[in-house]
Chains A and B, each alone.
Chain A
Amino acid sequence: MTETAVQTGFNQDAFDAFLAARDEPAWLSDLRRAAWEKFLELPMPSRQDEEWMRTDIRLFRLDRFGFPAEAEASQLDQAEEGLLRQGVEVGGHTVAVDSRPLASELSDRLREQGVLFGALDELVREHGDLLRPHLLARAVDPFQDKFAALHAACWSGGTLLYVPRGVEVEEPLHQLSLLSAGGVELGHTLVVLEEGASATLLAESASLDPEAAGLHCGAIELLVGPRATLRYVNLQNWGTGVWHFAHQKALVDQDANLQWTIGVLGSRLAKVNQHVALVGTGARAQVNGVMFSEGRQHLSYHTLQHHEAPHCTSDLLYKGALQDDSRIVWRGMIKVDPGAQKTDGYQRNDSLILNREARADSIPGLEIEADDVRCTHGATTGRVDDEQIFYCRTRGMTRNEAVRMIVAGFFQQVSDRIPIESVRVALGEAIARRIREYE
């Protein structure tokens, strides 16, 4: 091997230039510097790490990527409306390309009520003191691993939704994150609902070029205050060349409600930690996952339902359908702390395999340290049954109609849990479009 030092785009000079240009509160710059040191220090995860055993990123080359470039105006013209906004009256809307905010709207009424919604990196300049206790401080650990540290040091753009105490936002808010060909997306999502507030955020991501390479290294923090209600939908629909690494964590406080729905359709490889912490007595969380993989996609989702307080409920249902040579790894854990009595925890993962080469790994787990709890889990893996297809065909349906119907039926149970029609329709149609013709 020759001694050519590969210049990573994420190098010290680039970081210093990035930081100098940001004009941010000092505490945030300090946080970025500390995370940057951690990023330099930590090794790239490997298959020796238990969490990465089933996820091979040896082909991932971080040096091919760097800080996001300025978005060009022409990219805005190409920006789509997104799938989740169809037929929905929204209270606000943001669009970003490669973490660069392009457009942001919020209804006057919500603005007057003190709601903040828009690009996080713009809003944090104005509202630094308000956000300091929340941003990368309570939920996501900026030093957890190399990707978390990279994100914490270099994030830009992003989305903030802040809803003051007691304000109920009726209309959903919509966020669209786009990647250009070869682009990098380091957006950070921060949602803060103060006591008794409620809101619905529909977030989605897509690539402007569906096959081009790209990198998303992101984090999501959902901070649901006492008696607050958050419905959060995240549709990951990147192109098939995108590497997707993310740490996502929600804190659900006393008697608060979180409904978190993820749709996972895109990316070349996704490695996501989705963590729901029930931190206040009587908190409730429902987590819904709809996944569809194809080609050589690898989707790896690690979920954690962490019961830290008593009398909390968590209910997770992940359903994934797989075709071609794709693979889905789900590893779920319900963790119950010693004090979390009267916990009601549930997790279930169902996989439907459409052809022989696809593979689903489903690994549920329980770690219970309280004695008065009810925790159950289940996992199933099945294939589309030839007898089912034949039965549908004797009723006049073509083979493809039969397969689409069986797959739609497979997702029905999780779809029934999603109260927002545009989300149900968008997911259903996106999946139906992806199902290949089989013979």
Chain B
Amino acid sequence: MIAPNTNRTNESMSNTETLKITDLHVAVEGKPILCGASLTLRRGETHALMGPNGSGKSTLGLAVMGHPAYEVTSGSVELDGVDLLELDPDERARAGVFMAFQRPMAIPGVKMADFLRHATTNVRQPDRKEGEELIPMREFRKELRGKMEQLKIDPEFARRYVNDGFSGGEMKRAEILQLAMLQPKFAILDETDSGLDADAVKLASASIAEIRGGEMGILIITHHERLLEHNRPDVTHVMLGGRIVETGGPELAEELHRDGFDRVRADHPKAAAQEAELEKLQKEEAVG
């Protein structure tokens, strides 16, 4: 169904350098939320994932990362040909996938620097066992300071507790810093622009472009055009009612920003009906 219209990576690499999601179905507490999502992201590519609220965009990300509440009922997710669904969330991270969370969790009492030193060591040394040496403190601090300088992040950040008492903007900056340190093969950025003012989005957008270089494949979940400013999508996916209903080029993202999702709903009545159904379920849940 999906054939990204890009020639930036050659065909021979496509099996080993892709994050390939095929016909993914996901349920939460037995209720279907994703009803067949497919996309193939190659390293070096930028994909935008757009869609109205509740269409399943975050669910896709969380299911790829292995959130225990998101049950994959059918379909597959492969990273460089490896079945990700067989791996624990930490093994997925060590294999090279990353997600910047829309609402990252606070870990009170754990300093950003300590958290990141642990995370960075594990991701760089995927075979490391608990209790084995971490990256030497001095070496790590130097690298972290460099990255923070590059991203224009206040050095004080390293001493603060992970996301504890952070403003919305600070949380997003912290997620970007983690992306920079962990250098995954593939990154899912879930509304990394929400809650930011115009200047902050601009900075975030530029930072992401700088961090990824030409190597990282990124899937940007967004409502805003500005995050895509420095990260022009090679491919745009539109999600509706738990399905990816359209895939196009950058012009599709521009159209959706300009005109919204009415045309998409009209063109895909089945998915639109599913959207209405899911909304109803959610409302009932909220009431019940």
Contact of A387 among B65, B105, B118, B130 (CB under 8 A): B105
B68 pairs with A405, CB closer than 8 A? no
| Residues of chain A within 8 A of B104, CB atoms compared | 391
In the complex, which residues of chain B have a beta carbon less than 8 angstroms from the beta carbon of A378?
none
> Which of B68, B162, B178 has a CB less than 8 Å from the CB of A390?
B68
Mark out the residues of chain A between 380 and 439 whose CB falls within 8 Å of any chain B CB in the assembled complex. Answer: 385-388, 390-401, 405-406, 408-413
Secondary structure of the B contact surface, majority rule? mixed
Interface residue? B109 (CB, 8 A):
yes
Point out which of A390, A401, A406 has the most chain B C-beta atoms below 10 A from its C-beta. Answer: A390
* Distance, CA A405 to CA B114, complexed state (A): 9
Report whether B119 and A397 are in contact in the complex, using a CB–CB cutoff of 8 Å: yes
Of the stretches B45-53, B87-95, B248-256, the one at the interface is B87-95
Contact A408 B110 (CB under 8 A): yes
- Check if B157 is an interface residue, CB within 8 A of chain A: no
Q: What 1/0 flags go to A190-212 for Cβ under 8 Å of B? A: 00000000000000000000000
In the complex, chain A residues whose CB is within 8 Å of the CB of B108: 409-410, 412
Minimum CB distance partner of B90 in chain A: A393
Q: Are B93 and A394 in contact (CB under 8 A)?
A: yes
Contacts of A391 in B (CB 8 A): 101, 104-105, 107
Interface residues of A in 219-259 (CB under 8 A from B): none
Chain A residues with CB below 8 A from B182, complex form: 395-396
Q: Which one of A396, A405, A406 lies within 8 Å of B90 (CB-CB)?
A: A396
Interchain CB contact (< 8 A) of A405 among B88, B110, B178: B110
The interface residues of chain A lying within 8 Å CB-to-CB of B106 are: 388
Hey, which chain B residues are within 8 Å of A398, CB to CB?
88, 90, 130
Contacting pair B93 A395 (CB below 8 A): yes
Residue B67 interfacial (CB < 8 Å): yes
Q: Is the CB of A396 within 8 A of B94?
A: yes
Q: Write the chain A residue with the least CB distance to B178.
A: A395
Specify the chain B residue showing the minimal Cβ separation from A400: B130
Q: Is the CB of B110 within 8 A of A406?
A: yes
Are B105 and A396 closer than 8 Å at their CB atoms?
A: no
- Set of chain A residues within 8 Å of B109, measured between Cβ atoms: 408-413
- Across chains A and B, the number of contacting residue pairs, with CB separation under 8 Å, is 85
Residues of A near B88 (CB, < 8 A) are 393, 398-399
- Which B198-248 residues have C-beta < 8 A from chain A? none
With contact pairs A405-B107, A408-B109 given, residues A395 and B119 touching in the complex (Cβ less than 8 Å) = yes
Cβ-defined contact, B98 with A394, below 8 A: yes
CB interface residues, B 39-81, toward A, < 8 Å = 65-68
Interface size class of B (residues with CB under 8 A): 20 to 34
Whether A390 pairs with B89 at a CB distance below 8 angstroms is: yes
**Would B105 and A409 count as touching, CB distance under 8 A?**
no
With known contacts A401-B130, A405-B115, A413-B109, A394–B122 Cβ distance under 8 A: no
Residue of A whose beta carbon sits closest to that of B125: A396
A399 to B108, CA, bound (A): 17
B189 within 8 Å of A by Cβ? Answer: no
B123 at the A/B interface (Cβ < 8 Å)?
Answer: yes
Contacts of B140 in A (CB 8 A): none
Which residues of B sit under 8 angstroms from A412, Cβ to Cβ? 108-110, 161
B90 adjacent to A409 (CB under 8 Å): no
Across the two chains, which residue of chain A brings its CB closest to B69?
A: A386
B176 contacts the other chain (CB 8 A): no
Cβ A409 vs Cβ B161 within 8 A: yes
User: Is B99 among interface residues, defined by CB-CB distance under 8 A?
Assistant: yes
In the complex, what distance in Å separates the CA atom of A391 from the CA atom of B164? 14
Q: Which residues of B contact A387 (CB under 8 A)?
A: 105
Is the Cβ of B107 less than 8 Å from the Cβ of A392?
A: yes
Q: How far is the CA of A196 from the CA of B65 in the complex (A)?
A: 60
B89 touches A393 (CB 8 A): yes
**Complex: how many Å from CA A387 to CA B162?**
14
Q: Tell which of B89, B94, B122 has the most Cβ of chain A within 10 Å.
A: B89
Q: In the complex, what residues of A have CB within 8 A of residue B118's CB?
A: 395-397, 401, 405
In the complex, chain B residues whose CB is within 8 Å of the CB of A397: 90, 118-119, 122
One of B65, B89, B107 near A409 (C-beta < 8 A) = B107
Interface string of A309-346 (1 = CB under 8 A from B): 00000000000000000000000000000000000000
Complexed CA–CA distance, A410 and B178 (Å): 22
Residues in B whose Cβ lies below 8 Å from that of A392 = 107, 115, 119
Determine the distance from Cα of A388 to Cα of B110 in the docked complex, in whole angstroms: 12
Q: Is the CB of A409 within 8 A of B110?
A: yes
Task: Provide the B249-276 mask, 1 if CB < 8 A to any CB of A, else 0.
Answer: 0000000000000000000000000000
Note all chain A residues with C-beta closer than 8 A to B115: 392, 395, 405
Q: Which residues of B contact A405 (CB under 8 A)?
A: 107, 110, 115, 118
List residues 120-138 of chain A with CB under 8 A from any CB of chain B.
Answer: none
A54-71 CB contacts (< 8 Å) to partner B: none
Residues of B within 8 A of A411 (CB): 109
Question: What is B's interface to A at a CB cutoff of 8 Å?
Answer: 65-68, 88-90, 92-94, 98-99, 101, 104-110, 115, 118-119, 122-123, 130, 161-162, 178, 182
Q: What 11 new A-B contacts, CB under 8 Å, besides A385-B105, A397-B122?
A: A388-B105, A390-B68, A393-B90, A395-B93, A396-B93, A396-B123, A400-B130, A406-B110, A409-B107, A409-B108, A409-B162
Identify 11 residue pairs between A and B in the complex whose beta-carbon atoms are under 8 Å apart, listed by A's number: A391-B105, A393-B90, A394-B66, A395-B115, A396-B119, A405-B118, A409-B107, A409-B110, A411-B109, A412-B109, A412-B161
* 6 A-B pairs with least C-beta separation: A409-B109, A412-B109, A396-B122, A395-B119, A393-B89, A409-B110
